[in-house]
Amino acid sequence: MKIRHLFAALALFILPVAGHAQAILTVSGNAADGATVSIDYTADDLRALPRQTILTNNNFVDEASSFTGPSMRDLLGDIVIERDSEVLLTALNDYSVVMPGAHILDYNVIAAHDINGVAMTVRDKGPLWVIYPMDDHEELQQPRYNNYLVWQLRSIEVK
């Protein structure tokens, strides 16, 4: 049954309970040799990656906040990204948006897991929120860039 499959998939993204390290993010795409690559990250995996902190404002917070998490470039690992690549970002509630590969190459875009030093839960746009360094680049302050700030990020697919 369709609904059953959906929930089976959703179950993968529930915050890991002690002893049950479950993947919360899946990153997929092609490596330089053309092989398909798919990486599953648990919350611990993500926290083990180099951290970036961005202090910025956006349309969904009341004031400039400090966001911490791995950069998108680091998340991609061996997956090749070009300027004209299409990066499909999908959220837990099935919201999805296609981000141009150039954004990842030009800006330090991160998948934040902490806001102001506190881990984000599903109730608070967590566990992962795509953040652009908007305050550092004037051009990123155009309203349309807010469309790429996907919260409750579930998967990244590079096409």
Partner 1 sequence: MKRLGPTLRRMAIVAMVIALAGSMFGFRTLYKHVSAFEIEEHYNPVWIVNQIEFEVLRFDDALRAFRLGEVTADDVRLRFDILWSRTGVVSSGRVKDVILSYPSIVSAVKTLKEELKIEDPVLQSLRDGDIATAERLGVRFARIRDEIHRLTLEVLDLKTRSDAAARDHFEMFTFWTRLLALGTTASLIAFVIFAWNSAERARRHADEQERLLIRARAASDAKSQFTSVVNHELRTPLTSIKGGLGLILGGACGALPEKAERVARIAYENCERLGLIINDLLDLEKLEAGEMKFDFQRTSAPRILASVMQSNDEFANLHGITLRLDKVAEDAEIYADSSRMEQVLTNIVSNAIKFSARGKEVRLGVSQCRGQVEFTVADDGCGIPEGAVDSVFDMFTQVDSTSKRAKGGTGLGLGIARSITEKHGGAITLESRLGEGTTFRVTLPAYSSEPAHDLALAETAGATPA
Binding flag, residue 11, partner 1 (CB under 8 A):
yes
Binding flag, residue 59, partner 1 (CB under 8 A):
yes
Binding part of the chain for partner 1, among 11-19, 26-34, 46-54, 97-105 by CB under 8 A, reads 11-19
Residue 55 CA to residue 35 CA, distance in Å, equals 37
Nearer to partner 1, 108 or 141 (CB): 141
Instruction: Candidates 31, 38, 48, 60: give the one binding partner 1 (CB under 8 A).
Output: 60
Nearer to partner 1, 99 or 158 (CB): 99
Return the H-helix or E-strand segment holding 48. Answer: helix 43-48
Binding flag, residue 125, partner 1 (CB under 8 A):
yes
C-alpha distances in Å from residue 133, one per residue of 94, 103, 104: 24, 11, 11
Nearer to partner 1, 58 or 71 (CB): 58
- Rounded to 5 degrees, what are φ and ψ at 122? -60, -35
Binding part of the chain for partner 1, among 27-35, 40-48, 82-90, 123-131 by CB under 8 A, reads 123-131
Binding flag, residue 13, partner 1 (CB under 8 A):
yes
Binding flag, residue 97, partner 1 (CB under 8 A):
no
Instruction: Candidates 69, 151, 153, 154: give the one binding partner 1 (CB under 8 A).
Output: 151
C-alpha distances in Å from residue 44, one per residue of 19, 65, 72, 146: 12, 23, 16, 28
* Residue entry with tokens 């990250």: 41
Q: What is the DSSP string of 77-100?
A: TT----TT-EEEEEETTS-EEEEE
